Amino acid sequence: MAKIGIVVFPGSNCDRDVHHVLNNVIGVQADFLWHTKDRISSYDAMIIPGGFAFGDRLRAGIIAAHSPIIQEVKRMAKDGMPVLGICNGFQILVESGLLPGALMMNDSLRFVCRWTKVEVKNNKTPFTSQFAPKQTFAIPVAHGEGRYMADSKIIKDLKKKNQIVLQYSNDDPNGSTNLIAAICNEEGNVMGMMPHPERASESILAAEGAGNDAITIFRSLVSNLKQKAIA
């Protein structure tokens, strides 16, 4: 049976939400993993949740990116393990070098916390395979440093290699280049996203008329792990 690790740093604050969705809503085992762990061997996927790792001191995600567990996550990612970073987790994946580009202050220079819509641009990843091509769905954002930036060469490569996974649907809450809300690595097994699917995975949490399609991020991951177990 698939087992998912949830990395916890001093300052993580969405770890319990992800733990609840995976264990109680979807029904897959997920465990908390403290950031000091330097050996991990019994997990099939890793999730780095949102929050303020180490208080976002110096720069969001930069201290966490040098934690012992992230060195282990990098090793497992290179071996093909699915790794999902959400919000602060996305920042940590970028700072660790697992994903290209940078996450800067929102163009408004203000913290943004509201619902928006995203469009699925790549449904071939372990995290989006259960979405229809070009499907749009509602999802909340909550961040101060969520503006995805990259030079023209990186953006060109992301487009060429189908690494742009989600784009804001005509509503960019932070000023991201090309409306980017989520990208993946070339292999597709590492994805970072600024919106919070764990906050939109149950209908009781959804804004009026928004729905809870964001849970498909987690359902896609679990489906991918089950297919791997059968193969």
- Active site residues per annotation: 87, 196, 198
Task: Give Dmax (Cα) for the chain.
Answer: 48
Burial class for 86, CB neighbours closer than 10 Å (0-12, 13-18, 19+): buried
The answer to whether residues 90 and 147 touch, using CB atoms and an 8 Å cutoff, is no
Q: How many CA atoms lie within 13 A of 78 on its CB side?
A: 7
Consecutive H or E run containing 195: none
- Could you tell me the CA-to-CA distances from 38 to 79, 90, 170 in Å, in that order? 16, 20, 42
